[in-house]
Amino acid sequence: RKEVEQDPGPFNVPEGATVAFNCTYSNSASQSFFWYRQDCRKEPKLLMSVYSSGNEDGRFTAQLNRASQYISLLIRDSKLSDSATYLCVGYSGAGSYQLTFGKGTKLSVIP
């Protein structure tokens, strides 16, 4: 079983919609989590860090639920420019800093 799992999608949503992605992780020792965005044929770039207390940045909200071992990303008022693949990422194991990615969820925002 892969350590970080996420729904590959694709998610096709109209402009202005709210969309949510979830990601589960299997290693309870994992400490730090992030959401990255990857555009076609480009390198992944950090979208936001994920904290237990929740993290909001404009239209984006990330949440970590340690009890259920899942991470979520909520995008409100979707824009065409949000179309990309969203990657859930975690550091596996205390102190090992092995960075593990989910397979990514593809989002297409439609006019």
Partner 1 sequence: DAGITQSPRHKVTETGTPVTLRCHQTENHRYMYWYRQDPGHGLRLIHYSYGVKDTDKGEVSDGYSVSRSKTEDFLLTLESATSSQTSVYFCAASKSDTEAFFGQGTRLTVV
- Which residues contribute to the site for partner 1 (CB under 8 A)? 31-32, 34, 42-46, 49, 87, 89, 91, 96-104
Closest contact distance (angstroms) between CB of 76 and partner 1 is 23
Write out the H or E segment, with its range, that includes residue 70.
Answer: strand 70-75
* Least gap, CB of 55 to partner 1 (angstroms): 13
Report d(CA 63, CA 65) in Å as an integer: 7
Q: Quote the CA–CA distance of 35 and 39 in Å, as a whole number.
A: 13
Of the two residues 49 and 61, which places its CB atom closer to partner 1 in the complex? 49
Task: Tell me whether residue 42 or residue 59 sits nearer to partner 1 (CB atom).
Answer: 42
CA distance 65 to 110: 30
